[in-house]
Amino acid sequence: MTFAGFALVFAAALCHAGWNFLMKRLGGGLELIWLFSAVSAVLYLPLAVWVFWSAPGGLSATQWAFIAGSTALHLTYFAVLQQGYRVGDLSVVYPTARATGPALTALVAVLAFGETVTMQAGAGIALIIFGVLMLSGVVGRRVALSPASLGFGLGIGVLIAAYTLWDSHAVAVLVIPPLLLDYVPSLARTGLLAPLAWKRRRLVARHWRQGWPSVVGIAVLAPLAYILVLYALTFTPVTYVAPVRELSVLFTVLLGTLVLKEAEPGRRLFWAGVMVAGVILLATG
Residues 169-213: tens digit of each pLDDT: 888 888 899 999 999 988 998 999 999 999 999 999 999 998 999
- 61-117 confidence digits (pLDDT tens): 999 999 999 999 998 988 888 888 787 777 678 777 877 777 787 777 777 766 666
Burial class, 61, CB count within 10 angstroms (exposed 0-12 / middle 13-18 / buried 19+): exposed
Q: DSSP character for 27?
A: -
CA angle 7–123–267, rounded 5-degree value: 70
Q: Is 148 helix (H, G, I), strand (E, B) or coil?
A: helix
Rounded distance, CA 281 to CA 285, Å?
A: 6
Total domains in the chain come to 1
**pLDDT category of residue 163 using cuts at 50, 70 and 90:** confident
Q: What is the rounded average pLDDT of the residues 8-15?
A: 89
DSSP state of 256: I
Instruction: Indicate the burial class of 141 (C-beta count within 10 angstroms; 0-12, 13-18, 19 or more).
Output: exposed
Amino acid identity of residue 133, one-letter, is L
Q: What residues make up the domain containing 188?
A: 3-284
Instruction: Let me know: does 280 contact 246? Beta carbons within 8 Å.
Output: yes
Spatial separation of the C-alpha atoms in residues 135 and 130, rounded to whole Å: 9
- Cα(246)–Cα(220) distance, rounded to whole angstroms? 20
Model confidence, pTM: 0.77
The answer to whether 148 and 84 have CB atoms below 8 angstroms apart is yes
Beta strand ranges found along 40-99 (DSSP E): none
Query: Which is nearest to 251 in space by CA: 19, 6, 25?
Result: 19
